[in-house]
Amino acid sequence: MPTERPDPLSVLEAALAGCETDFVELRYHRKRSRAVAVEKGRLDTAQSSEHTGVGVRVLEQGTYGFASTPELEAGAVRSAIERARAAARASAAARRQRLSPLPPAPLVRGRFEGEGVAEAEGRDIGQVIDLALRLEARARAASSRIESASCRYAELLEEKAILTSDGARVHSQVVRPEFRVGAVAREAGELQRASRAVGVSGGWDCLFRRASPEQLAEEAARLAVERLAAGYPEGGRATVLLAPSLVGLLTHEAIGHTVEADFVTAGSVAAGKLGQRVASELITLCDSGHSEFAPGAGGSLAVDDEGVATERTVVIERGVLKSYLHSRESAARFGVRPTGNARAWEYQDEPLIRMRNTYIEPGQQSLEELIDGIEDGYLLDGAANGQADANGEFMFGTQQAYRIHRGRRGPLLRGVNLSGRAFEVLSSVDGVGSEFVWDLGSGHCGKGQPMKVDAGGPWLRCQVLLGGRQ
Partner 1 sequence: MNSAAARAPARTPLEVQQRLRERCQAAVAAALGAGADEAEAYASQRDSREVALEKGDIQLARTQASAGLGLRVLVGGRLGFASTNQLESGSFGALARDAVALARQGPQDPHNRLPAGAQLAPRDALVDGQLWDLPIERCVELARTLLARARAIDARLSIDSGAVEASSHSVAVASSAGTLASESDSGLSASVFGMAVDGSDVGGFDHRGDWSRLAEGFEAQLERAVDLFGRTALGNLGARPARSYRGPVLLRPEALLSMLLGPLLGGLSALAVQRGRSPLAGKLGQAVAGPNVTLHDDPSDRELAGAGAFDREGVATARRTLVSAGRLETFLYNGYAAAVEGRRSTGHASGGTRSVPDIGLHALVMEPGEGGDEAELLGRLGQGLLVGRFSGTVDPASGDFSGVAKSARWVSGGRIQHASGETLLQGNAFEALRSILCLSSHSERLSGSLRLPWALVDGISVTAG
Residue 266 binds partner 1 (CB under 8 A)? yes
Residue 3 binds partner 1 (CB under 8 A)? yes
Taking contact as CB under 8 A, which single stretch among the options 335-343, 380-388, 433-441, 449-457 is the one that binds partner 1? Answer: 380-388
What minimum distance in Å lies between the beta carbon of 180 and partner 1? 15
Q: Please, which contacts does 388-392 make with residues 24 or more away whose CB atoms are closer than 8 Å?
A: 388/253, 388/254, 388/257, 388/258, 388/422, 390/258, 390/263, 390/266, 390/267, 390/268, 390/269, 391/269, 391/421, 392/254, 392/258, 392/268, 392/269, 392/270, 392/421, 392/422, 392/423, 392/424
Residue 320 binds partner 1 (CB under 8 A)? no
Residue 406 binds partner 1 (CB under 8 A)? no
Q: Which of 258, 257, 268 is nearest to 355 (CA)?
A: 257
* Of residues 280 and 399, the one with the C-beta less far from partner 1: 399
What minimum distance in Å lies between the beta carbon of 423 and partner 1? 12
Q: Which of 253, 304, 269 is nearest to 112 (CA)?
A: 304
Q: Which of 1, 17, 122, 406 binds partner 1 (CB under 8 A)?
A: 1
What minimum distance in Å lies between the beta carbon of 64 and partner 1? 4
d(CA 344, CA 447): 11
d(CA 195, CA 181): 6
* Of residues 93 and 109, the one with the C-beta less far from partner 1: 93
Residues 6+ apart with CB under 8 A from 215: none
Residue 120 binds partner 1 (CB under 8 A)? no
Taking contact as CB under 8 A, which single stretch among the options 104-112, 212-220, 244-252, 408-416 is the one that binds partner 1? Answer: 408-416
Axis-axis angle for helices 74-92, 8-16 (nearest 10): 50
Residues 290-309 touching partner 1, rule: CB under 8 A, are none
Q: Which of 268, 280, 284, 310 binds partner 1 (CB under 8 A)?
A: 268
Q: CB-side exposure of 150: number of CA atoms within 13 Å? A: 14
Pseudo-torsion of CA 377, 380, 386, 387, nearest 10°? 20
Q: Which of 5, 51, 109, 408 binds partner 1 (CB under 8 A)?
A: 51
* Of residues 79 and 434, the one with the C-beta less far from partner 1: 79
Residues 165-194 touching partner 1, rule: CB under 8 A, are 184, 186, 190-193
Residues 6+ apart with CB under 8 A from 286: 292, 312, 313, 314, 315, 358, 359, 361
Q: Which of 147, 166, 214, 226 binds partner 1 (CB under 8 A)?
A: 147
Residue 141 binds partner 1 (CB under 8 A)? no
d(CA 138, CA 451): 31
* Of residues 170 and 422, the one with the C-beta less far from partner 1: 422
Residues 64-93 touching partner 1, rule: CB under 8 A, are 64-71, 73, 75-76, 79, 83-84, 86-88, 90-91
* Of residues 46 and 367, the one with the C-beta less far from partner 1: 46
Residues 190-229 touching partner 1, rule: CB under 8 A, are 190-193
Residue 5 binds partner 1 (CB under 8 A)? no
Q: Which of 125, 137, 320, 412 binds partner 1 (CB under 8 A)?
A: 125
Residue 387 binds partner 1 (CB under 8 A)? yes
What letter would DSSP give residue 250? I
d(CA 329, CA 65): 14
Residue 53 binds partner 1 (CB under 8 A)? yes
Q: Which helix (H) or strand (E) holds 31?
A: strand 23-39
* Single-letter amino acid code for the residue at 140: R
